[in-house]
Structure 1
Amino acid sequence: MLKVQEIRELIKLIDQSTIDEFTYENDGEKIKLKKQVQTAKQPAIAKVVQEQAEPAPESAQPAPADSTKPAPEVQQETQANRDGTVEIKSPMVGTFYHASSPDAEAFVKVGSMVNEDSTVCIVEAMKLFNEIEAEVKGEIVEILVKDGQLVEYGQPLFLVKE
């Protein structure tokens, strides 16, 4: 079975590519990833692909669709590094859950110590409940989302002081 980090890398690669659907099978296990393409965005994507096919001066090249996203992330990471915390981010789009069931205790609370392999939450995507591991060692200093909240890919879920 693929690890969470490997799935994250696959998601990033597919997101940055023109691939709309990806299926991975190994030893009877299957992972299928699909991009959600909205019809309003399709003409813009086709236009960008067409413009990139014809060489143009660098100043005339269209800006990538996600050109505004990297700058805030870099700024957040820099700010996070200054105060000694690290963000645990969502590896997928889905619904965030603090615990394995409504009547169970939360996996972590503010002040909880975590290791790289500690489960910190569950993100439900397409009826699959995915346990999310901390992947860092330290203390949970802030929980950034509420139980049952929808989360996006790459959205910070927790702040951890290493």
Structure 2
Amino acid sequence: MLKVEDIQALIELVDRSSLDEFEYENEGTVIKMKKNSGVQVVERPLREAAAPVPAPQPPVHSEAAQPATPVQPQTPATSNDENLHKIVSPMVGTFYQASSPEAEPYVQVGSKVSPNTVVCIIEAMKLFNEIEAEVEGEIVDILVKDGQLVEFGQPLFLVKTK
């Protein structure tokens, strides 16, 4: 297992190099780095046994049973729109909407974004990683609060793409 200092040294080397992407795998640990889009550390066994997935069971209906109330998403008017893109967190860390507490948020609901638009910062291991939209469109929902801890793959924004 790599130490934090080793990972920080790798980040500095990649940052100073002309590389755009870097991937390192050792003993089940995979580190992928992309310039200007953050650092991702994923641990997994090299030989992972697949657990059997149970077949879905059909719902049991009875005459007395009431239909289940569907869970309403945060944005019911736009959640079923096929043109929505989720911007997800590329790492575990703390979500920040702006570069500093006094600064304006990078984006708000209604903001137009392009693939290179910075939408937020994720702080991980005292490193501030700018997260880009990676799509062109309009922000329709912000799914997390400023200062909230986020998980790898957690949706942060919904973007209505063109």
Fold shared, TM-score > 0.5 on shorter chain: yes
- CA deviation map 1:52-72 (0-9, x unaligned): 5xxxxxxxx6348xxxxxxxx
- Aligned equivalent of 1:136: 135
Change beyond 3 A, Cα 1:102–1:161: same
Q: Which amino acid aligns with 1:20?
A: T
The structure with more radius of gyration:
2
Change beyond 3 A, Cα 1:100–1:20: same
Structure 1: distance between partners of 2:42 and 2:113:
32
Question: How many residues of Structure 1 are paired with residues of Structure 2 in the alignment?
Answer: 115
- Aligned equivalent of 2:4: none
CA RMSD of aligned residues (A): 3.5
Contact 1:120 1:131 (C-alpha < 8 Å) held by counterparts: yes
- CA deviation map 1:34-77 (0-9, x unaligned): 64x9xxxxxxx7xx85xx5xxxxxxxx6348xxxxxxxxxxxxx
- Aligned equivalent of 2:147: 148
- Displacement after TM superposition at 1:84 (Å): 1.7
Moved segments of 4+, more than 3 Å? 21-24, 31-35, 79-83
- Structure 2: segments with no counterpart, 5+ residues: 1-14, 34-38, 54-77
Structure 2: distance between partners of 1:103 and 1:20:
38
Structure 2: distance between partners of 1:136 and 1:32:
20
Structure with the higher fraction of residues in strand conformation: 2
- CA deviation map 1:91-144 (0-9, x unaligned): 111000000001100000000000000000000000000000000000000000
List aligned pairs for 1:38-117, cutoff 5 A. 52=49, 62-63=51-52, 82-117=81-116
Correspondent of 1:20 among 9, 16, 29: 29
Contact 2:90 2:152 (C-alpha < 8 Å) held by counterparts: yes
Contact 1:145 1:157 (C-alpha < 8 Å) held by counterparts: yes
Q: Which amino acid aligns with 2:107?
A: V
SS of residue paired to 1:158: strand
Change beyond 3 A, Cα 1:119–1:83: same
Structure 1: distance between partners of 2:110 and 2:42:
37
- Aligned equivalent of 2:121: 122
Structure with the higher fraction of residues in helix conformation: 1
Change beyond 3 A, Cα 1:140–1:23: closer
- Displacement after TM superposition at 1:23 (Å): 8.7
Change beyond 3 A, Cα 1:130–1:18: same
Identity %: 54
